[in-house]
Structure 1
């Protein structure tokens, strides 16, 4: 039995309220997460340089020790990336985005669509990428609480991030439509030439 066995709906703390529908669910792709969030390629390059220096200096023991240390370090990072991906569920409904995160201690972070003012897509491949959510108004989400599901370097105003999505472009489009669907009626009634303005500017950039 795991800590998620009693979830009434996978990735959610309870049943969906009446009128709320599930639009999408997904999890990070762990190999992509390892590269993009835990920088395994950069770490590998660092150890490769150390190995080259050890070879240049003629230190056989140094070469062996560095290779072992690099393999262990990268292995641990990849293992953690796998654990994060395995325990993470991102959910998009008609009313909110929910992040069920946490390897040792799980928690659910509810983000109402009305509080999402935009999103930034960081491509990591043809259709893969990270989707950072820009929140409207003050919030109490801390960077360390969100990490690694947080946009890098946004320490003062943390932005939740859906990490290493294998279908990031599709998720961005669905998020844009969901946010537009709950926009005020007066915005929906604007002229067709301004219809793009019913979508938050950040979301327009995310799916461009």
Structure 2
């Protein structure tokens, strides 16, 4: 995992901390949908529902000693508070989505994440054990990457949230969250990973003391 703490406007390549090595090319780049991110990772509707419940509970309880209108007026505090909280969640989602760039190349997945503390995760295909697609009816979805635990790549669930598979706390799995047209993106990733893994990693070295022999 590599970290890039410079402002991402100075990136040599959008979403990447350095220029692509020779032979590597970008196949896809994208960002989370801020609206899907707010609903899924920030539980927007659950939070809204909680404050509506508090409003209803206070209104019904207060109606025993005052009129329904007076009770509802007093309880409307919870609706105002809920509206403020939901607005903050939407703002966080917007900032997170804008600061995030997911990149798939022919060799790896790169994730530039974080609004306050920007970092870039470089995930080589040869360290990916499995990729799982979670698809929604809207076409948005998450692609979770199960990494090789022996590959020396450790991740913090807290530091990489919300760009991780939910509830995988012991062995966090980096995830491309709430991306549009996730099925097509998953196909691109699968083809690139299969091609990269099937290519042998050959390194040519010269043994010490061996000199080139003239051709006969």
Same fold (TM over 0.5): yes
Which of 178, 187, 190 aligns to 1:173? It is 187
Q: Which moved more, 1:139-148 or 1:107-116?
A: 139-148
- Unaligned runs of 5+ residues in structure 2 are 1-5, 64-70, 201-216
TM-score (norm 2): 0.82
Alignment of 1:114-129 (within 5 A): 114-129=126-141
Moved over 4 A (4+): none
| Aligned-residue offset at 1:107 | 0.8
Which of 71, 74, 90 aligns to 2:86? It is 74
Which of 7, 11, 15 aligns to 2:15? It is 11
* CA deviation string 1:125-178 (max 9, x = no partner): 242111111112333111112111111111110000111101111111011001
TM-score (norm 1): 0.85
Alignment pair present for 1:108 and 2:112: no
- Preserved contact between residue 111 and residue 120 of structure 2 (Cα < 8 Å): yes
- Preserved contact between residue 164 and residue 175 of structure 2 (Cα < 8 Å): yes
- Unaligned runs of 5+ residues in structure 1 are 187-208
Alignment pair present for 1:27 and 2:39: no
Alignment of 1:1-208 (within 5 A): 3-57=7-61, 58=63, 59-138=71-150, 139-184=153-198
Q: Which moved more, 1:65-74 or 1:139-148?
A: 139-148
Q: Which moved more, 1:66-75 or 1:48-57?
A: 48-57
* CA root-mean-square deviation: 1.5
Q: Which has the larger radius of gyration?
A: 2
Alpha-carbon separation, structure 2, partners of 1:184 and 1:29: 33
